[in-house]
Amino acid sequence: MNIEEPITKPVPRPGDMEETVTTHPAFGQISASRRQGSSNLYGSDFTHNGYITITIKTSELHRTLSNDWHFETGQLIEVALSEAQWASFVSSLNQGSGVPCTLEWIAGKGRLPRLSNPKSRADQFSKEFQKDFDEALEALDDLEAALAASGLSKKKIDDLLGKARKAKARINDSAPFVTKQFGEHMENEMENAKVEIHSYLQNLIQRAGVAALAGPSDPIVLSLEGDTGE
């Protein structure tokens, strides 16, 4: 392991004031901010009017008047998360491979391109359903051709072809309706989920504020899994 000692240098100041600046490649500062404004975020299915940003910067330590002061010296990265992603990030330690976030600024590249509007999940699932239905119809077409060339008796072939054609008719009749109904269901569920998530996060934020006011002598337990405990 490579270990490097911090470097401390005096800084000239007028009068008798003494100040030192300590630097090290590992010194950094991290901050989180709430932002307002329309934004599309990686890993989220809808456009957000508010989100959270995390910024990491390099830092140096100034000491004067017997106090330490941390000053940023350059930005390394800035990422954005939805409120739901932020809640998952702070409550899901050592779980999975991480929470999706949106890269907004990187040292050496600057501000990164913004994401386009998210595609409709309902349309995506509807297209996937339709693809499955089309493949099922193709399989039945192949079955009909195989039966016709099978050498079975005409009566047996007609019986099996009748069943295959009946299955094709059922798929052709029901596929558009099922796809449409599923699409409408997905749209309704997504709208309901937006309302529920927003309401839950607002409640969580309010409870966090109450917990901060209560102080360590009267803790309020916050949980992402259920109700609070006292």
Looking at residue 150, its pLDDT comes to: 77
pLDDT digits (tens, 9 = 90+) for 96-120: 888 999 999 999 999 999 998 877 6
Looking at residue 102, its pLDDT comes to: 96
Please say whether the beta carbons of 27 and 58 come within 8 A.
Answer: yes
Q: How far apart are CA 131 and CA 28, in angstroms?
A: 51
Amino acid at 53: T
Number of Cβ within 10 Å of residue 28's Cβ equals 14
pLDDT digits (tens, 9 = 90+) for 138-151: 877 787 788 777 77
Name the stretches of the chain with pLDDT < 70. Answer: 120-127, 173-230
Looking at residue 58, its pLDDT comes to: 97
SS3 content of the chain, % helix, strand, coil (to 5): 45, 25, 30
Which pTM was predicted?
Answer: 0.58
How big is the chain, counted in residues? Answer: 230
